[in-house]
């Protein structure tokens, strides 16, 4: 059996128009990105408006966004996860991606969050405290 090129993502479709939501089909779980397409200096650009997740149906989530945020986005990308990926893993991916925007002044207000709380549990900014690569030493508990 051939090995999959990606561990988490089964397939993706990128920069699709809102008219193509129906083609996505039902029951696809994963991460999606909403974009606003603009033409800048004769070149198409896609600004990220929102990153979201679907643990039941990306198609349903996109339809809801189309009703509530229609004027804010023009295109989407959908990243379907494999069937063995748990909902908690999808939530973690989405939280991490949105965490990247935390201090980005260009990020859409729809996408910014105060932070991904779970990342605080593994944050250790003092790099001298990180075990050397390959070490089995456990992370130091902070009190």
Q: Per-residue pLDDT tens for 27-63?
A: 999 999 999 999 999 999 998 888 899 999 999 999 9
Q: Per-residue pLDDT tens for 87-100?
A: 999 989 988 888 77
79, with CB counted inside 10 A (0-12, 13-18, 19+), is buried
Rounded Cα distance, 73 and 3, in Å: 36
The 3-state DSSP class for residue 89 equals helix
Query: Structure pTM?
Result: 0.78
* Element (DSSP H or E) covering residue 59: helix 58-68
């Amino acid at each position: 059996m051939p090995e999959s090129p990606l561990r988490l993502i089964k397939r993706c479709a990128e920069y699709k128009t809102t008219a193509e939501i129906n083609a996505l089909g039902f029951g696809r779980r994963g991460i999606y990105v909403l974009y606003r397409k603009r033409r800048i200096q004769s070149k198409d650009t896609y600004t990220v408006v929102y990153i979201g997740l679907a643990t039941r149906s990306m198609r349903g989530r996109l339809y809801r966004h189309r009703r509530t945020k229609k004027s804010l986005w023009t295109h989407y990308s959908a990243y379907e996860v494999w069937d063995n990926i748990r909902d908690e893993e999808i939530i973690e991916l989405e939280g991490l991606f949105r965490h990247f925007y935390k201090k980005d002044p260009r990020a859409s207000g729809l996408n910014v969050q105060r932070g991904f709380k779970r990342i605080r549990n593994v944050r250790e900014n003092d790099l001298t405290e990180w075990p050397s690569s390959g070490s089995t030493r456990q992370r130091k508990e902070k009190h």
